[in-house]
Amino acid sequence: MIHTNLKKKFSYFVLVFLLFAVICVWKKGSYEALRLQAKEFQVSRLAVGSGFQSMSTSSKQDPKQDSHILRHLRGTANVRSPPSSYQVWDKDSSAKNLNPRLQKILKNYLNMNKYKVSYKGPGPGVKLSAEALRCHLRDHVNVSMVEATDFPFNTSEWKGYLPKENIRTKAGPWRRCAVVSSAGSLKSSQLGKEIDNHDAVLRFNGAPIANFQQDVGTKTTIRLMNSQLITTEKQFLKNSLYHEGTLIVWDPSLYHADIPSWYKKPDYNFFEIYKNYRKLYPNQPFYMLRPQMPWELWDIMQEISPDWIQPNPPSSGMLGIIIMMTLCDQVDIYEFLPSKRKTDMCYYHQSFFDSACTMGAYHPLLFEKNLVKHLNEGTDEDIYLFGKATLSGFRSIKC
């Protein structure tokens, strides 16, 4: 009897204490919460490095800032979580890291070779330092747009449709730029303010802002879209989402095809809808990416990757990163390398789940992530907490 009473009392005490702690943490607000998470990460890394001993030492070093309950929660979190949960993307990931289904899809794409890829360059598996890789990209990936003088866009059929000005006169140069993926892990990230605090922000396809401002921000300076989106999205001509900033559309050509052959055989025939959009909004800059650019980038990815990669063009995400590297001194990339919020949910704005959205099926996503991780100059902690990678732009490097 006495025994149960004591037990009851003790449970009440613990409950009240927990409630008190929850209210305390809640009141401190999200900024404080992020700081706490940052500390949690440091503590955990120590714990992973040298075992339980260092974990208890590190909490002893900081007695004033830690309430007992938080120390306790951290302690149990450390014991329960396997060390791997604090790891971020491994830049040497290989196709063997894919699940059997995705490995099979990769093999199928290699056999299919839809774009008639015949890679003749060095590799695979050439090892380059981050500095050498950055220079290699700068010197071999020509980021430019289709111009009004390129056949067949110089014919009467196309007169007046392509922007007259070079994109470099419309976009940048900027100091700090943000590339915002559409990943499901952006949901509840609270990164909106951080993202808006950049000189320019690049977004992808139909990624919305309304209802997601807190997580993805409000600014759109460039929107990079694939040809599939603009040919299939019924609202493309109407939705005001597309009316902000500079638009760029890209469409895969056959491997290293020139503009005239691409024009005859685009992946998605978006040319009419492009013209219609230009008629409606002639003052909004709207460019077509040179179809050679994705394959110039693909060649370098194949050169440095340990395996044969999907012979399909890089993702819009990877293309957007390289585009911003040509326009900005520094590029902060959000949730391209997954944070601790990593999820199989494909988009922050849609409840659709598939591991292929992180690891890649059609696009060589795994190898793109390896490349971005290799070039990252930010910390693993920033990746883990915020999904943030920081790359130097081509403008600010010496080769």
Ligand X SMILES: *[C@@H]1O[C@H](CO)[C@@H](O)[C@H](O)[C@H]1NC(C)=O
- Which residues of the chain form contacts with ligand X (CB under 6 A)? 142, 144, 151, 154-155
Cβ neighbours around 148 below 10 Å, total = 13
Q: CA-to-CA distance for 177 and 248, rounded, in angstroms? A: 17
Question: CB of 163: closest distance to ligand X in angstroms?
Answer: 14
- C-beta of 52 vs 151, nearer to ligand X: 151
Question: CB of 285: closest distance to ligand X in angstroms?
Answer: 17
Check the CA dihedral 29-180-182-117 and report its sign.
negative
On the 0-12 / 13-18 / 19+ scale of CB atoms within 10 A, 355 is: middle
Q: Find out whether 118 and 311 touch, Cβ atoms under 8 Å.
A: no
Question: CB of 250: closest distance to ligand X in angstroms?
Answer: 15
- C-beta of 64 vs 164, nearer to ligand X: 164
DSSP 226-295: EHHHHHH-TTTTT-GGGGSSEEEEE---STT--HHHHHHS-SS--HHHHHHHHHH-TTS-EEEB-THHHH
Residue 248 pairs with which residues in a beta bridge?
224, 287
Question: CB of 155: closest distance to ligand X in angstroms?
Answer: 6
On the 0-12 / 13-18 / 19+ scale of CB atoms within 10 A, 161 is: middle
The count of C-alpha atoms lying within 13 angstroms of the C-alpha of 241, restricted to the half-sphere facing its C-beta, is 17
Q: What angle do CA 286, 223, 256 make, to 5 degrees?
A: 70
Q: CA-to-CA distance for 142 and 327, rounded, in angstroms? A: 12
- C-beta of 255 vs 263, nearer to ligand X: 263
How far is CA 129 from each of CA 93, 126, 136, 261, 319, rounded to the nearest angstrom?
A: 16, 10, 10, 36, 21
Question: What single-letter DSSP state applies at residue 314?
Answer: P
The DSSP element (H or E) to which 347 belongs, if any, is strand 345-347
- In 55-140, the DSSP E strands lie at none
Question: CB of 85: closest distance to ligand X in angstroms?
Answer: 44
- C-beta of 141 vs 337, nearer to ligand X: 141
- C-beta of 5 vs 155, nearer to ligand X: 155
- C-beta of 171 vs 346, nearer to ligand X: 171
Q: For residue 187, which of 165, 151, 215 has the smallest C-alpha distance?
A: 215
Question: CB of 394: closest distance to ligand X in angstroms?
Answer: 11
Q: For residue 393, which of 314, 313, 332, 335 has the smallest C-alpha distance?
A: 332
Q: Find out whether 366 and 93 touch, Cβ atoms under 8 Å.
A: yes
- C-beta of 61 vs 155, nearer to ligand X: 155
Question: CB of 292: closest distance to ligand X in angstroms?
Answer: 8
Question: CB of 330: closest distance to ligand X in angstroms?
Answer: 22
- C-beta of 81 vs 142, nearer to ligand X: 142
- C-beta of 27 vs 164, nearer to ligand X: 164
Question: CB of 309: closest distance to ligand X in angstroms?
Answer: 24
Question: CB of 222: closest distance to ligand X in angstroms?
Answer: 19
- C-beta of 109 vs 394, nearer to ligand X: 394
